[in-house]
Amino acid sequence: MSDAAVTRAPRLAPRLTAWQWARQNLFGSVADSILTVVVAIVFGWLVWHALDWAVIRADWFGESKEACKSGGACWAVITARWRQVVAGYYPEGHLYRVALAMLFLAVAVFPVVKRDLPAWSALLAPVGVIAAIAILGGANILPSVPTDYWGGIMLNVLVGLTGAIFALPIGILLAFGRRSDLPIIKAFSIGFIEIIRGVPLITLLFMSSVVLPLFLPAGVNLDKLMRALAVVTLFSSAYMAEAVRGGLQSVPKGQREAAHALGLGLLQTTGLVVLPQAIRISIPAIVNTFIGLFKDTSLLYVIAILEVTGVIRQALSDFSWLGLENEGYVFVAFVFWVACFSMSRWSASLEKQTGKEAKPAREPA
């Protein structure tokens, strides 16, 4: 800096005004301008019609489709059955238990969503899920409510979260098993993963509810929902394993060596150094699996478990609501979309956070 040369003061990079941006990006040439206008018109027309049908001319409440006279969507089919939509046939006086169970599920996901908590907080996940199931079922303390009465969105959330929370640790074990030096463990892990991944979930669900009981002695009656939960968990654990394996592979060998050189044992190296990095790398893949799993909970209706799709189908087959498929399925699609889209947003924000640790911009000197 002792140089006599003129030092230029740094200044901000030039920034475009909204008008300049539009000129450059939307109306850069004649073709661009035509395209912009055409797309805008088509898009506007679609949005307008959707809004017109779903909101402006919609009817929201009523006892049957006769109540819907405005010509728009007839959401009465949903609102009239809101209790089933939310919780299936869970007894009316006990809905507070549904709310409580949802609260516990929220506690269960808390350690996953919120980072920088002590390691023991991971235990909240299984504890929260089991507590939620106990509250819903009664657990010999509250009046018992058999799982046949559970249903609606609550069931999708319950099955999705339970599956995810138990599938992740199983998936991690399988991923390590797949890389294990022990041939038996390796063969078992690969076999399990490849068999599960090669069979559609719907087949496994049928097998669990139709085939499995054939092999059980008469009188032994495993709960249908619990069987479905087990199937869903095992199913997604195979996918989770592959997601985690990708992460494990991308942790450089030098990390293990450094840990080893510091005297950390195999378990410590794995748990403190390799796994945390592998999980962070595989967050997008893990969330993808979660999203797939959550959407797959709609398949439960084929084994007569009344999750939200099942509830809606039942409503649509009711004489007073015949012919409202549009409303019914748009609603189901909306429910799943909201859930999955929030998960994907959340995963993107997590990636950004970890990105800061992994490769931030060099600090200016």
Partner 1 sequence: MTRAPAKKPAARKSAAAPQAAATPAPPARVRPALGPPCVEIEGVHKWYGDTHILRGVDLSIRDNEKVVILGPSGSGKSTLIRCVNALEPYQEGRIKVVGCDLKGPPKEATAARRKTGMVFQQFNLFPHLTILENCTLAPMWVLKKPRKAAEEEAMELLERVHIGEQARKYPAQLSGGQQQRAAIARSLAMNPEIMLFDEPTSALDPEMVGEVLEVMTEMAYEGMTMMVISHEMSFAREVADRVIFMDEGEIVEIAPPDQFFSNPKHERSREFLSRIL
Interacting span for partner 1 (CB under 8 A) from 1-9, 161-169, 241-249, 272-280: 272-280
Return the number of the residue (161 or 283) whose C-beta is nearest partner 1: 283
Return the number of the residue (92 or 363) whose C-beta is nearest partner 1: 363
User: Residue 248, interface with partner 1 (CB under 8 A)?
Assistant: no
Residues 251-270 that bind partner 1 (CB under 8 A): 252, 254-255, 257-265, 268
Residue 59 phi, psi dihedral angles, 5° rounding: -110, 135
Cβ distance 193 to 242 under 8 Å?
yes
Say what angle helices 224-249 and 183-197 make with each other, to 10 degrees.
Answer: 120
Q: What is the C-alpha to C-alpha distance for residues 136 and 94, in angstroms, rounded to an integer?
A: 9
Cβ distance 240 to 172 under 8 Å?
yes
Q: What is the C-alpha to C-alpha distance for residues 108 and 105, in angstroms, rounded to an integer?
A: 5
Q: How far is the CB of 185 from partner 1 (least distance, A)?
A: 22
Q: Which residue, among 175, 167, 166, has the nearest Cα to 270 in the 3D structure?
A: 175
Q: Which residue, among 201, 197, 176, has the nearest Cα to 299 in the 3D structure?
A: 201
For residues 18 to 37, the per-residue mask of contacts with partner 1, x marking binding by CB under 8 A and - elsewhere, is --------------------
Q: How far is the CB of 168 from partner 1 (least distance, A)?
A: 18
Return the number of the residue (195 or 358) whose C-beta is nearest partner 1: 358
User: Residue 40, interface with partner 1 (CB under 8 A)?
Assistant: no
Q: How far is the CB of 283 from partner 1 (least distance, A)?
A: 12
Q: Which residue has the tokens 């999708």?
A: 156
Question: What are the structure tokens assigned to 211, written together?
Answer: 């085939």
Among 167, 280, 290, 306, binds partner 1 (CB under 8 A): 280
User: Residue 181, interface with partner 1 (CB under 8 A)?
Assistant: no
Q: How far is the CB of 244 from partner 1 (least distance, A)?
A: 15
Within 10 Å of residue 268's Cβ, how many Cβ atoms?
14
Among 277, 288, 314, 320, binds partner 1 (CB under 8 A): 277
Q: By CB neighbour count within 10 A (0-12 exposed, 13-18 middle, 19+ buried), where does 253 fall?
A: exposed
Chain residues binding partner 1 by CB under 8 A are 252, 254-255, 257-265, 268, 272-273, 276-277, 280, 356-360, 362-363
